[in-house]
Structure 1
């Protein structure tokens, strides 16, 4: 089963978007572990919405586009990973280990990827 892990960051706090060397080292070790475990399919960090982003909304037949930065949105997705694991419990275990890398509050959403037969 594939699961997507998405972590959220405060879009208005520039310090959160520039990790310190200690975090980079911890993150590197985590990425090595998840890679060696053979469960990592993809992982990417995202830039803040001020670096280039848009929200496209379609409602009642009309489409609107709002370019970033998104002042009204406090938290945005800061990065994601896609894991191939046995079950949700294993995905949550990897997400919990990832959350432990941070020195600040963090929220990580774990979602099962739709698998069509």
Structure 2
């Protein structure tokens, strides 16, 4: 099963984070990523740029989508990075999430990533047949 671990932090967590030398943060995250890699569960991981830098929203409420620059409304709407891991169970994903070196005020939202098998009843639709072919061409699933 694939899971996405979404890193979130409160304003207080961000302030606390800014008090820690960045080299220390990089080393802790690097060690965590290395442990995920050595265990063979890491599929992807990325940090995201500050919410005030080169970011935008696309709002689909109107007839034509509207693109607007940030800032975003609420801190709890932001996330600052993610991992995608492949584990044998929800429990294993939870164990990896618990090991993440985040501090007080930070959370990891853990969401299962859908797989083609989740859409088995629609497997013969053109969209899913095309997607399966695209994934095969790109070495995915």
CA distance in 2, matches of 1:52, 1:15: 24
Checking the alignment, whether the CA contact within 8 Å between 1:11 and 1:73 is kept in structure 2 is no
Checking the alignment, whether the CA contact within 8 Å between 2:43 and 2:85 is kept in structure 1 is yes
The reply on whether 1:55 has 2:63 as its aligned counterpart is no
CA distance in 2, matches of 1:19, 1:63: 41
Computed over aligned residues only, the root mean square deviation of the Cα atoms, in angstroms, reads 2.3
Structure number with higher helix proportion = 2
Pairing of 1:1-117 with structure 2 (within 5 A): 1-10=1-10, 13=14, 16=17, 20-59=22-61, 61-70=63-72, 72-75=73-76, 76-98=78-100, 101-117=101-117
Bigger relative contact order, structure 1 or 2, given CA contacts below 8 A and separation 6+? 1
Aligned residue pairs total: 114
Runs of 4+, deviation exceeding 6 Å: none
- TM-score, scaled relative to structure 2: 0.70
Answer with 1 or 2: which has the greater Rg: 2
Of stretches 58-67 and 42-51 in structure 1, the one that deviates more from structure 2 is 58-67
CA distance in 2, matches of 1:89, 1:114: 17
Checking the alignment, whether the CA contact within 8 Å between 1:39 and 1:84 is kept in structure 2 is yes
- TM-score, scaled relative to structure 1: 0.83
Aligned pair in 2 of structure 1 residues 19, 2: CA closer, same or farther (>3 Å)? farther
Mind listing any 5+ residue stretches in structure 1 that lack a counterpart?
A: none
